[in-house]
Structure 1
Amino acid sequence: MQIFGVDIGGSGIKGAPVDLERGDLADERYKALTPHPAAPEAVADTVKEVVDHFGWTGPVGVTFPGVVAGGTTIRTAANVDKNWIGIDARTLLGERLGGLPVTVLNDADAAGVAEMRFGAGRNRRGTVIMLTFGTGIGSALFMDGALVPNTELGHLELNGHDAEKRASSRAREDEDLSWERWARRVSKYLAHVEMLFSPELFVIGGGVSRKAHKFLPLLEGVEAEIVPAELQNNAGIVGAAMRAAMG
């Protein structure tokens, strides 16, 4: 069975059909740059571009980088245009896609759902936290495999700032931090999250997960197991498709 997944990020919007039996992309993903400003109408147009690239006519799952209340209404928009707040994203995207059935969920939640089913979190019980490091820091919290949605742990305070302003992948790039300096910041952040939630496992995802060998060995001061996401930066697409398959 194939369902289409779209992952809206602060820098790119990417999508592909997903083979839900294998938990992997059924075709090479297509990526377009996120418009700036990333206003609702412009982003919806880009989502349509991604879906139309494949001539897709079935259900579509879409991730969003913020809180999605009830699978419809956007409540936060840290890394996209603030005009998203209060928007019924499911209706907006459904109309832009010509009436195709659309499901919307938080981007890190989508990545986490995929990793718990097909990746690094499969068959893991207890408390598992997926963290995606990219333009910001997304989070997905699981207890015995059940998702606690919209946690937004990237906005915990770290040294007087939003954690994602200090420890995201974008912060590393913008400040030209070495892997060692960035790993120290990430270690402090993980230690803070661990203090609050005592997880057995951290799964590290987002685009930086492709380079896990450069920073995971440098992390310290955390008792929980830390592993890279197995689906890497495709986890959001897969998770979006999984949720769309549920209707």
Structure 2
Amino acid sequence: MTNDSHDALIETPDERIGFGIDVGGSGIKGAPVDLVTGKLLTKKYRLPTPIESSPEAVAEVLSAVVSHFELPAGAHIGVTFPGVIKNGVAQTAANVDKRWIGTDVAGVTRDATGHSAFVVNDADAAGYAEAAYGAALGQQGSVLVLTLGTGIGSALIHDGVLVPNFELGHLELDGYDAEKRAASSVKDREELSYPEWAERLQRYFAHVEFLFSPDLFVVGGGVSKDHKEFLPLLDLTTPIIPAKLRNKAGIVGAAALAAEND
């Protein structure tokens, strides 16, 4: 797919269509989403995140991603951001320029694309998607979605309602920031076997289970494709299952939350 090509939305009623953009440290990707099924209506369109990922530079990419699709003039879009978000404003910034801190991400998106935007933490978007369409569909009570990657992302959904900015990767555990001991990047860097890594995951998940007593754990991140290598090694009271939506979850969750908050 070339940068000057465009994707028209397939024949789907407007009220069923959402649009999500997932902003990451290496790439920015977007797609229209069927809000009933949670499926993407076209292929994702992805552009690299600018090396100098300032608000101005990222705004240009956001504009290009949205312009690639023929969105209705009044369409609302959902945008994930790698940081804590309060009322559309970034409070932290992970893997993007620190000039984002204190920036109105929703305003930057609106000015760049001409569309109203709902901005959400990236882990929150992915977690919400798993609850609305993925592994936790239909689950009542409290669902904790934890993504094991460079760090540990987390999302809490209670009876289908997202509790935002639930940063459980930064719990202090045994004198460490938890993700510095249990993220999958640590497994790779320290060359831990799955059983060795599972010992660290056991300590982490058991601590989170004690603190929050969830009804279900959902584990995401790229390493979740190997879930049979480590999830059966964990001894927990709470059921724990792998995520389903993988790298589509951010786009899907952002679109769904934007529609819900329209």
Q: TM-score, normalised by structure 2?
A: 0.84
1:88 corresponds in structure 2 to 104
Residue 232, structure 1, aligned to residue 246, structure 2? yes
Give me the whole-angstrom Cα distance separating, in 2, the residues matched to 1:160 and 1:46.
Answer: 40
C-alpha separation between the residues in 2 aligned to 1:166 and 1:173?
A: 11
**Any residues of structure 2 matched to 1:195-234 within 5 Å, and which?**
195-218=210-233, 220-234=234-248
Distance 2:174 2:54 in 1: 31
Distance 2:98 2:215 in 1: 35
Letter in 2 for 1:241: A
For residues 177-209 of structure 1, the C-alpha deviation after alignment (integer angstroms, 9 at most, x for no partner) is: 333333322222111111110112101123333
Alignment CA distance shift 1:105-1:28 (3 Å): same
Q: Which moved more, 1:40-49 or 1:227-236?
A: 40-49
Which residue among 172, 180, 183 is the counterpart of 2:198?
183
- 2:61 aligned with 1:59, yes or no? no
Structure 1 unaligned runs (5+)? none
- Distance change in 2, residues 1:31/1:185 (3 Å): farther
Q: Is 1:111 aligned with 2:121? A: no
SS in 2 for 1:190: helix
Once residues 150 and 27 of structure 2 are traced to their aligned partners in structure 1, the CA distance between those partners, rounded to angstroms, is: 10
- Answer whether contact 1:113 1:239 (CA < 8 A) is retained: yes
- How far apart are 1:167 and its partner, in Å? 2.1
Q: 1:11 aligns with which of 9, 17, 26?
A: 26
SS in 2 for 1:25: coil
1:234 and 1:29 map into 2 onto residues whose CA distance is 9
- Please give the alpha-carbon distance, in whole angstroms, between the structure 2 residues aligned to 1:83 and 1:10: 14
Which structure 2 segments of 5+ residues have no match?
A: 1-15
Aligned to 1:25: 40
TM-score, length-normalised on structure 1? 0.89
Report the Cα distance in structure 2 between the residues aligned to 1:34 and 1:179, rounded to whole angstroms: 32
Deviation at 1:42, TM superposition (A): 2.7
Which is greater in Rg? 2
Cα deviation for residue 150 of structure 1 reads: 0.9
Cα distance change of structure 1 residues 181 and 47 upon mapping to structure 2, 3 Å threshold = farther
State the AA in 2 paired with 1:170: S
Q: Distance in 1 between matches of 2:26 and 2:193?
A: 22
Q: Secondary structure at the match of 1:173?
A: helix
User: Alignment partner for residue 192 of structure 1, among 207, 225, 237?
Assistant: 207
- The percent of aligned pairs where both chains have the same amino acid is 55
Deviation of 1:173 (Å)? 3.3
Q: 1:133 to 1:49 in 2, by over 3 A?
A: farther
